[in-house]
Structure 1
Amino acid sequence: MLTLPEPSVTPLRGGPTLRWGVLGPGGIAQDWVSTVHRHTDQRVVAVASRSSDRSQAFAVRHGIPHAFEGHEALLASPDVDVVYVAAPHAQHRPLALAAIAAGKHVLIEKPMALDAQEAEEISQAAKAAGVFAMEAMWTRYLPQSDLVSRLLADGAVGEVRTVTADLGWRWEYSAGDPRFDPTIGGGVMIDAGVYPLWFAHSVLGPIDSVHAIGSVAPTTAEIEAVIALRSASGALASLSASATTTTPGLASVYGTTGSILFDSSFVFPARLRILSDGGEHEWADESGLAGRDGLAWQATALAAYVAEGRTQSPLHSLDDSIAVLRVLDDVRRQIRRHAE
């Protein structure tokens, strides 16, 4: 009889705390700060934007004591321990490098950079400076992700042979929408497709074969993708991402003696079914956090890692971030080449 292990995650309260600064007070930063302040002991003490009015309004809304125009003043502040880079994709690299150069730890919104080469530059800079750097692949820090990892390590489904994952949010096309501008990181892969790619990598490990087809917008940004992967072990993955339709966001892992099935979106706090020789089991996230409230978990994890003297995440390393981006780069090349 299979007994489900208890997920092991950093507690949301009662652990080490850091003083956070936010670069880029956009939509994801709004959600991140809201859940961090509601559900953890971490505190955001500063925010910076190119617009003074924008940073001031964000600070007032979230009870943040310091608001700056431009990132330089925030990075010079001795009151900031760690920086959350929540700016648009094209700003991840320059802002992360600036934070690292200022000696700040850094959490960089996913994906860490526009491509693998930029991610490698960030990784090398962080290692040279001896500061902590982590991609905000927040789903990895949810309780369900630890449960899946433990089940796989225990051989609960036998040898993994196939992984599936989909994610799609419908976007209305506009030529002026940055989501459709490939020169600044537009396209469905960098926005949504990175999640299925991460999930496959987290389960299968290194990928040695990538095949992708898809569609592009008039701007050449990819708007649909279907991806087949083969891992170094020979296991397969079937993934999809879409900006033309909204999908359930389901994922699954199939092994030789059982399977793990997500009954709700694998990106958010979720429900799982585990089928094995020991029968069928159900598991649901009981933290009380739903949707983007789950962003809180990565903040407390990072604070704990810094307190332990680490310089990168033991769950999703800088090399993991780079490996996922290498596959993402390959997928985009194939889609755009086939669309010519």
Structure 2
Amino acid sequence: MKKGFRNFVLLCVGVGVVGAAMAAAGAAMGGRTSLQLKRPGASLEISPWGIRFAQGSNTSHGFLDGLDEMLDALDDLGKGDFISRIPDGDDDWNLMGEDEVTRRQLEGFGSLKVEVRQLPVEVKEGDGFAIACYGEETMDALSYTLENMELTVKQQKDLTQMGGHKVVITMPRNSAMEEIDIQSDSGAVSLQLEDDILATSITVQTKTASMSVDVEMCTALLLETQSGAISLEEENIGTARVNTVSGAISVEGALLGQLEVTSQSGVINVDVDGYEQDYAYTCSSQGLVAVNGNPGSASGGQGHNTVHLKSQTGLINLEFDD
């Protein structure tokens, strides 16, 4: 964590703790309570009625001792616009514990297999082949091996801290993946492979975690979850199967190939970037079914691309560009 931001956090935490204690004591005595930190050139006052920061003070603090780090942070505030000096970018800082980042460059790989429990996973285009672990515990919780052009990543133990954890796997533009297989319990999965990264086979399976998949071309695609939401954006799909028990499903794109979507009770929304006559489609559900806004439509089209949507009780909405 950058020094300035660390000092700011220390200031906020320290002021909050001491201020709360003073406010409680003052209220008990019926008095007006405030906390003042003063340094030459700047002062900060916190009270139940607001927070005031002033520059130009020439007095120093008197009644608080042992707050050197807090006062150093106050000096930082007095030097100008503190917020503008906070570094940008995920690699530099954040408010969710991601300040601890371990990034390792890797040799090229053509297959990827990931098994995690509650750890979020991102796969996307980046500066070369690499793996990055965000959060203090993430690297210790993971193991990874790269053998025979296959990268295998596994979560070995649960994480004790909340927030800020994720593993990010990158590959350069124009990469070709033979297989991407990701298994997750409750960690969200994101695949952003739209920029000229081709995949022969993609499989993502979760229990309760949501998934977001954006891919330009894939020969065989399987997305499955019990209750997590599924979002798919794809152009040339070959064959794609998207299955859920109760999670919502959203699919959009040209969807050139064969698409099959099934759900027991979740909502299915499919937005096809193509003309209805280029597709053969069927929709089946005991719930509401609508095609291009017309309720009750079940099937149609004569095209070589196919869209089959099936749900037991969930709503189905299918839209084509006209």
Q: TM-score range by the shorter chain?
A: under 0.3
Higher strand residue share: 2
Q: TM-score, normalised by structure 1?
A: 0.24
Of the two structures, which has the highest relative contact order with CA contacts closer than 8 Å and spacing of 6 or more?
1
Higher helix residue share: 1
Q: TM-score, normalised by structure 2?
A: 0.25
